[in-house]
């Protein structure tokens, strides 16, 4: 598939097929479960296909040492939006959504992003925090498996058959860190809900000036209700999607938003503490393959770095030798 054919309908939403057609490394959000470095991925897969390929194109990936290096990058966005479902701020989710949201799956993060993508409210306040503590890479790229070499050498259509058997990209790196998101939606959306000071008085005032009946709010809460709060925190596995239809609900929603924003404000320290205390990962060090499973289980692997097989010297050499024989 060429770049023109794979070009997305919405230029702000980079699809996996389009990213794959460019044959350049790219990253995707991750929150589904365990994944190992070197695993193959087919960017042209259909929604019904398995997310990753079961056959490995590499020899003995488990025997390759892994290395962790610290980088410490934090991004916190606190903003209002008129239509959050169409904002480019959710572009990272657009990549995974282009194949049915498979990269996030049935996780709290996936549920949060799905609720935001389906949000039709015209008034929204959001805080999105992401922190990358570091990255795990293979110390060296292992040799291609003998079956993969034979396919590249003898197949009548080596590039496409290799993609179908092993994928056109592989997991080249794992970014380790944390994600925290909170969105307040509806006609009553207000940054007061993120403020702990005088929170109760502000919410009472908001509900006193909001005269819709409970029945009206119930009927419209999915699209234009008085107040909804969606919140997620990867370090605590916290997820909430809450719609307020009374003063008591409003207070509860306010505290959910306020508490989760506090988690967002110190997301870097929280993530670094977990890595150091539970995994002994500081500036850099060796990581064992079973530790990657534990990091995934803990929700600390937040991004996958995917690289094309076509960038590998051995892959290129096999195709070059093949065509030189002609």
The beta strand positions in 38-190, using DSSP E, are 40-41, 66-81, 124-138, 169-185
Instruction: Return all residues near 74 (Cβ < 8 A) that are at least 6 apart.
Output: 129, 130, 131, 132, 267, 268
What does DSSP say about strands 238-244 and 26-29: parallel, antiparallel, or unpaired? unpaired
pLDDT at residue 41 above 50?
yes
pLDDT at residue 210 above 50?
no
Q: What is the mean pLDDT of the chain?
A: 77
What does DSSP say about strands 238-244 and 169-185: parallel, antiparallel, or unpaired? unpaired
Q: What is the pLDDT of residues 106-150, one digit of tens each?
A: 555 555 565 555 555 555 677 889 999 999 999 999 999 999 999
Q: What is the mean pLDDT of residues 210-231?
A: 51
| pTM metric for this prediction | 0.77
Identify which of 184, 252, 254, 186 has the alpha carbon closest to the alpha carbon of residue 220: 186
Q: What is the mean pLDDT of residues 292-314?
A: 94
Domain count, the chain: 1
Q: Residue 86's domain spans which residues?
A: 3-324
């Amino acid at each position: 598939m060429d770049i023109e054919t794979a070009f997305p309908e919405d230029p702000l939403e980079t699809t996996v097929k389009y990213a794959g057609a460019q044959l350049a490394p790219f990253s995707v959000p991750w929150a589904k479960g365990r994944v190992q470095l070197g695993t193959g991925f087919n960017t042209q897969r259909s929604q019904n296909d398995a997310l990753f390929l079961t056959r490995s194109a590499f020899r003995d990936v488990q025997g390759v040492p892994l290395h962790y290096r610290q980088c410490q990058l934090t991004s916190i966005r606190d903003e209002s939006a008129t239509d959050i479902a169409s904002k480019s701020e959710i572009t990272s989710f657009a990549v995974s959504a282009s194949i049915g949201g498979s990269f996030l799956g049935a996780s709290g993060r996936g549920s949060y992003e799905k609720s935001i993508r389906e949000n039709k409210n015209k008034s929204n306040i959001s805080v999105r925090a992401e922190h990358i503590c570091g990255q795990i890479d293979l110390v060296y790229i292992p040799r291609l498996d003998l079956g993969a070499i034979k396919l590249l050498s003898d197949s009548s259509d080596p590039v496409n058959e290799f993609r179908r058997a092993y994928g056109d990209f592989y997991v080249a790196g794992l970014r380790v860190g944390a994600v925290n998101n909170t969105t307040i939606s509806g006609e009553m959306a207000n940054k007061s809900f993120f403020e702990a000071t005088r929170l109760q008085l502000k919410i009472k005032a908001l509900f006193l000036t909001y005269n819709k009946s409970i029945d009206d709010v119930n009927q419209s809460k999915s699209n234009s209700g008085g107040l909804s709060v969606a919140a997620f925190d990867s370090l605590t596995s916290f997820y909430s999607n809450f719609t307020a239809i009374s003063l008591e609900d409003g207070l509860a929603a306010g505290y959910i938003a306020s508490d989760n924003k506090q988690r967002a404000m110190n997301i870097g320290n929280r993530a670094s503490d977990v890595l150091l205390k539970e995994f002994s990962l500081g500036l850099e060090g060796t990581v064992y393959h079973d530790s990657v499973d534990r990091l995934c289980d803990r929700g600390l692997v937040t991004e996958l770095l995917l690289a094309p097989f076509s960038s590998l010297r051995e892959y290129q050499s096999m195709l070059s030798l093949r065509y030189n024989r002609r």
